[in-house]
Amino acid sequence: MARPLTVMLVAAEASGDDRGAGLARALKRRLGDGVRFVGVGGARMAAEGVASPFDIAELSILGLLEGLLAYPRVVRRADQTAAIAAREKPDVAVLIDSWGFTLRVAQRLRKLDPRLPLIKYVGPQVWASRPGRARTLARAVDHLLSIHAFDAPWFEAAGLPVTFVGNAALTLDFSKADPDRLRAAIGAAPGEPILTVLPGSRPSEIARVLPAFEAAVTLLKADRPELHIVVPAAPTVLDAVKARVAGWPHRAHVIEGEAGKLDAMKAATVALACSGTVTTELALAGAPMVVGYRLGPVTYAILKRLIRTRYVTLFNIAAQAFVAPELIQDRCNGPELAAEVARRLDDPQLRAAQVAAQSAALDKMGRGGPDPSEAAAAAVLKIVEARG
């Protein structure tokens, strides 16, 4: 019997875990029992057959100072990941997002087996900051699967072949989401407003962003006792979110699981969201939102000099406008966040206008294109075949 194609998938964050699981499913649809998976990932990739040797939550690091402090752990886990490749002898390795960690893994895999095809799935946002990373990536891997149509020129100029596969977040299926199910679960009557709070999927985001969101929610609840608060929590930070929300002076419902998250997004009168993939998902759900984010002060001071775009939210970048307000760093505080949310809770016309503008921006981002997981699977198999 022929040896199955061995695909190494490596992801270190919740969004990468989603992409890795989607790619694994697409490869299984094409190859059936003719493919097996090894590598590193979270719960969703584990369900598709990727047995991770450690919890990826410890690698969800954002910030220069945090990165320096975590460096020994990142190196140790990169070594451990390379050891999987040494033992399992994959035919191809797909390294998903998570710039710092996957770059170190790529360097180790290259040294281990120079012939192993290395594919990066999701490139660094060089059009926003640090364009030199395009050259760094070109030296480290053989091919990039990009999720943004505007990525290719940056990386191809550095000599890295690029295949645009599209953004999996744009294909999120809300057809089975049921806002009434969410309302019944939390005891919300049909006309009562719901604020859906999404505080991020990294431990550092829970530490820096959730306290500001908590302060905003406390102010909003003081003026609006009828406001229902739901907090969908990513698996990577579930325990931390539960612990923090348990201490709030008012009732809030922590929502677990993907189905519950989609229900909560569809049910949202307004959402308060940490910048990231979740903002695209909320736009797909038709939820008007306020976006907040905080970095460590040193990281922010450095990045402020490097950033080349006015916007951090992808649909704002696509629209080249603040379709959703972005309250970053010092502006990510209780009073300012609460004021922006309150404007939307009080003004149905403002909510409707924002939802329409978000939808138009999603079209600019490529909504309605081919399924990204299928496109990524086709690209991976083509690269493997070309290597012979």
Same domain, 320 and 207: yes
348 is written with which tokens? 């149905």
Same domain, 189 and 78: no
| Mean pLDDT, range 198-203, rounded to an integer | 91
pLDDT at 225: 95
Same domain, 197 and 95: no
Q: With cut-offs at 50, 70 and 90, classify the pLDDT of residue 297.
A: confident
| Mean pLDDT, range 17-37, rounded to an integer | 96
Q: What total number of domains does the chain contain?
A: 2
Position 273 in a domain: yes
Q: With cut-offs at 50, 70 and 90, classify the pLDDT of residue 302.
A: low
**43: buried, middle or exposed (CB in 10 Å: 19+, 13-18, 0-12)?**
middle
pLDDT at 308: 63
Same domain, 23 and 119: yes
Q: Is the pLDDT of residue 311 over 90?
A: no
Same domain, 146 and 248: no
Same domain, 161 and 205: no
Q: Is the pLDDT of residue 118 over 70?
A: yes
Q: Is the pLDDT of residue 307 over 70?
A: no
pLDDT at 370: 83
Same domain, 153 and 219: no
Position 171 in a domain: no
Same domain, 205 and 344: yes
User: Do 168 and 372 touch, CB atoms closer than 8 A?
Assistant: yes
For residue 101, give the nearest of 139, 145, 56 by alpha carbon. Answer: 56
Average pLDDT, the chain: 91
pLDDT at 61: 56
Same domain, 158 and 214: no
Place of tokens 């120079």: 114
Q: Is the pLDDT of residue 142 over 90?
A: yes
- Give a three-class secondary structure readout of the chain: CCCCEEEEEEECCHHHHHHHHHHHHHHHHHHHHHEEEEEECCHHHHHCCCCCCCCHHHHCCCCHHHHHHHHHHHHHHHHHHHHHHHHHCCCEEEEECCHHHHHHHHHHHHHHCCCCCEEEECCCCCCCCCCCHHHHHHHHCCEEEECCCCCHHHHHCCCCCEEECCCHHHHCCCCCCCHHHHHHHHCCCCCCCEEEEECCCCHHHHHHCHHHHHHHHHHHHHHCCCCEEEEECCHHHHHHHHHHHHCCCCCCEEECCHHHHHHHHHHCCEEEEECCHHHHHHHHHCCCEEEEECCCHHHHHHHHHHCCCCCCCHHHHHHCCCCCCEEEHHHCCHHHHHHHHHHHHHCHHHHHHHHHHHHHHHHHHCCCCCCHHHHHHHHHHHHHHHHC
Position 284 in a domain: yes
Top mean pLDDT of 6-15, 20-29, 56-65 is at 20-29
Position 203 in a domain: yes
Position 61 in a domain: yes
Same domain, 138 and 190: no
| CA angle (217, 230, 175) in 5-degree steps | 135
List own/partner pairs for 330-334 with CB under 8 A and 24 or more apart: 332/209, 332/212, 332/292, 332/293, 332/294, 333/212, 333/215, 333/216, 334/212, 334/214, 334/215, 334/216, 334/218, 334/219
Q: Is the pLDDT of residue 2 over 60?
A: yes
In angstroms, the CA 107 to CA 308 distance is 28
| Mean pLDDT, range 250-263, rounded to an integer | 95
For residue 321, give the nearest of 347, 287, 293, 356 by alpha carbon. Answer: 356
pLDDT at 282: 97
Position 160 in a domain: yes
pLDDT at 56: 84
pLDDT at 146: 94
Q: With cut-offs at 50, 70 and 90, classify the pLDDT of residue 67.
A: low
Q: With cut-offs at 50, 70 and 90, classify the pLDDT of residue 151.
A: confident
Between 60-64, 113-117, 163-167, 304-308, the lowest mean confidence (pLDDT) is in 60-64
Same domain, 246 and 113: no
pLDDT at 331: 94
Position 174 in a domain: no
Q: With cut-offs at 50, 70 and 90, classify the pLDDT of residue 78.
A: very high
* Domain of 303, in residue numbers: 179-365
325 is written with which tokens? 């307000």
Q: Is the pLDDT of residue 143 over 60?
A: yes
Q: Is the pLDDT of residue 295 over 60?
A: yes
Higher pLDDT, 53 or 66: 53
| Mean pLDDT, range 235-263, rounded to an integer | 94
For residue 268, give the nearest of 288, 295, 283 by alpha carbon. Answer: 288
Same domain, 108 and 211: no
Position 173 in a domain: no
68: domain CATH number is: 3.40.50.2000
Q: What is the dihedral angle through the alpha carbons of 129, 131, 133, 139, rounded to the nearest 10 degrees?
A: 170
